[in-house]
A and B are shown apart, each in its own frame.
Chain A
Amino acid sequence: MPVTQYVLLSALLFCIGIYGVLARRNGVLVLMSIELMLNAVNINLVAFSARLNDVAGQVFALFVIAIAAAEVGVGLAIVLLIYRNRVGVNLDEIDLMKG
């Protein structure tokens, strides 16, 4: 079974995700882009799992989905708190760590 299409799809999704992470200024959108990148990885894992007849890849994918859910939970909570404290989730303005 060829995996080319899956890999291409995965690469496309990953690139869209990177673009979203780096280019968007809205915190919520950045989190959503991270989800895209994670799922691009998931596609790769599942595709190669099927190709190699090895179930470990699918197990990894399940782990990634579970952790992504937790991560989104924490991330959204942080975004919500930032929004409450600073009235806005523009990432350009969050530079407390500036040296």
Chain B
Amino acid sequence: MLFLATEAVTHAAKAGIAEKAWLIPLLPALSFLVILFFGKKLPRGGSESGILAVGLSFVISIFVALDWISNQAIVDQHWVWWHNGDTKITIGQHVDGLTAMMFVVVTFVSLMVHIYSTGYMHGDVRFTYFFAALSLFTASMLFMVLADNLLQLMIGWELVGLCSFMLIGHWFEEKNNSSAALKAFFTTRTGDVGLMLGIITLFFAAEKTFHIETINRLALEHEIGHGLLLAGATLLFLGVMGKSAQFPLHIWLPDAMAGPTPVSALIHAATMVVAGVYLVARVYGVFWEGFSIGAGGLNWMALIAGITMIIAAALAFVQDDIKRVLAYSTVSQLGYMVAALSVGAWTAGVFHLFTHAFFKALLFLGSGSVIHAVHSNNMSEMGGLKKYMPQTYWTFLIGTVALAGIFPFAGFWSKDEILLGASKNGYPFILILGTIGAFMTACYMGRCVILTFHGEYRGHGHPHESPRSMTVPLLLLAIPSVGIGWLNASMFHVEKFAHWVRFEVPGVEFEPPEHKADIALALGALAVAVAGLAVAYWVFYLQTAPNRGAFERSPFLRGVKNVLIEKYYLDRIFVDGVVGFIKGPLARATYWTNQKIIDGFVNAVGAGARIAGRFTYDVLDQKGVDGIVNGIGVSASETGGVLRLVQSGRVQQYALMLFAAVGLLGLALILFT
């Protein structure tokens, strides 16, 4: 039995279905077990179980979200899992706007990906296994989102990492795929060391509790020292850098594209990689105080996010693999989300997470549809697909303009909010980097669309439109990509999202700053995005730009291109620098230390123990203990030998002794009285 004792604590005035939110992760978890044990016997190889469970979870998520919208009652319950001294390890659920939003996003995208995968993975060798892993992933992600304490969050966090590893290496027969899986796992694990240390730091800083709401409250009420908060936030952010692919730990995400495309859509674009963003949003009190976000200027998190969004966008220009373009785009967009949170624009960051999940999942599934048609990932073998697969083209185009931030598609609203927050909260460099990033985003996405769908077909065979199981999810995802931004169209005085999803700690007067819309800024961002698309059209479609071929002719530009193709040599630095150092000098030094010092010490202890043992045996045991035991025996035996002389058995001798004794006693009586 998992729950030893149940001790539910609720401070919700009235909570309906939100209290049953634990069902949402439970259903996919059950589905995972069903697929694992019975999947191969099911008529559709286990996919129906996954779709059913995730579909039900999606329905419940919708109800939870509606319940939240009408009641706005935070559910915060926990059950004691086990006691450790005075510390209670609990497992719980915390349902507020952020949780409800994540539930809807994760279950919706997961449902789309499940349906899409029945077409995309049709006939795959490990079809059942794939769906089992998808179910497990969905369950883990939802479990993480549900967490009311950091320990539970970390369990979910690690589980999604494991699922990511399993699914990247789905076709592990090829060395590249298994290497990519390992790279993803190790890189995120590197960050997770920080996460774990951060959780431990906060645990002790916050009077031994993992409870997120309590930690937030203590942080915001200055009950925890600033130094501890800074350390905690910095360490937690290491975990975020790993999971949400922030520079310089972003290197795993493009390689993770080795996995099947639906996995890329679900895990490496829409849900798992935003876990880091979710963590920052969830434990925002710690980050707000730790990095002094309210003070403006510059903080470490903003710096990393700013670097991430620019360098990743630059890398997207030189990729030939369509999925890698999208992967770098994801890295860049994650940079936007983290940047938003780092400048105090909490709602904007979370809103961008929300919109991005839809259009990026759409783009990935669209690219999967293309790959399915042409049997290649490379854009050099695509082109002109517009007329072969119109549904894919139009939905992909919708995703592109949404990502580029064109009015009135989803990305426009959320990106505008981020730039607004950066400008109003005193982070000008994020505003500048964000604007440059917006231009680059529009430009590389334009390039991607043009190379894939326009011009002449450069590949082999006859491409064809994908089956309905794949196009229907595309259409369903296209709807929110178009319209979901209107949930928070602040310049039209629609601020539903900001009202529904907000950072709130009961009993603490704190709200991340919100700002009035700035029409000029929005128009500027829109102009930049349009300019990006126009440049892409000019350079890659018309191919009449005056400096065509400049990247081949100019040595400087060629150098720049090489740096980009080599991914800033980061992989080299990691492999030669870190791994090489560990394999070479560090390994030798460790070996030497092991052999000479640790083994020497161990051997010395062993030899000492031998000498002590010999001494104990020879002196203490043989001479001491045995001597005493033998001595007692011998003395008893010899005393007996003397005494047995008296026991002659002759009555008269006994009588003689008797009378002699009486005589002696009588004599004594006479003499001494």
Write the residues of chain A forming the contact surface with B, with a CB cutoff of 8 angstroms.
18, 21-23, 30, 91-92, 94-99
Contact = CB atoms under 8 A, between A and B. Distances in A.
Nearest to B651: A91
Interface stretch (B302-310, B473-481, B652-660): B652-660
Contacts of A30: 652
Interface string B100-117: 000000000000000000
Given A18-B659, A22-B659, A91 B643 contact: no
Give me the 10 closest cross-chain CB pairs, A-B, nearest first.
A99-B647, A98-B649, A95-B649, A99-B644, A97-B649, A22-B656, A95-B650, A22-B652, A21-B655, A98-B648
A22 B651 CA distance: 9
Contacts of A91: 650-652
A23 B646 CA distance: 18
Interface in B602-638: none
B652 A21 contact: yes
B166 to A, nearest CB: 87
Contacts of A18: 659
Nearest to A92: B650
18 contacts: A21-B652, A21-B655, A22-B655, A22-B656, A22-B659, A91-B650, A92-B652, A94-B649, A94-B650, A94-B651, A95-B650, A96-B649, A98-B647, A99-B643, A99-B646, A99-B647, A99-B648, A99-B649
Contacts of A98: 647-650
A93 B648 CA distance: 11
Interface of B: 643-644, 646-652, 655-656, 659
A44 to B, nearest CB: 15
A94 B646 CA distance: 16
Contacts of A96: 649
A1 to B, nearest CB: 25
Given A21-B655, A91-B652, A94-B650, 14 more contacts: A21-B652, A22-B652, A22-B655, A22-B659, A23-B652, A30-B652, A91-B650, A92-B650, A92-B652, A96-B649, A98-B648, A98-B649, A99-B643, A99-B648
Contacts of A97: 647, 649
A47 to B, nearest CB: 19
Contacts of B648: 95, 98-99
Nearest to B640: A99
A60 to B, nearest CB: 19
A13 to B, nearest CB: 15
A21 B644 CA distance: 23
A97 to B, nearest CB: 4
B52 to A, nearest CB: 96
Contacts of B652: 21-23, 30, 91-92
Nearest to B660: A22
A8 B648 CA distance: 35
Nearest to A23: B652
A23 to B, nearest CB: 8
Contacts of A99: 643-644, 646-649
A91 B650 CA distance: 7
Contacts of A22: 652, 655-656, 659
A22 B648 CA distance: 15
B654 to A, nearest CB: 9
A22 B649 CA distance: 14
B394 to A, nearest CB: 120
Contacts of A23: 652
B61 to A, nearest CB: 98
B168 to A, nearest CB: 92
A98 B646 CA distance: 9
Contacts of B644: 99
Contacts of B646: 99
A96 B649 CA distance: 6
Contacts of A95: 648-650
A23 B652 CA distance: 8
Contacts of B643: 99
A21 B647 CA distance: 19
A98 B649 CA distance: 4
A23 B659 CA distance: 13
A21 to B, nearest CB: 6
Nearest to A24: B652
Nearest to A21: B655
A25 to B, nearest CB: 8
A89 B643 CA distance: 27
Nearest to B648: A98
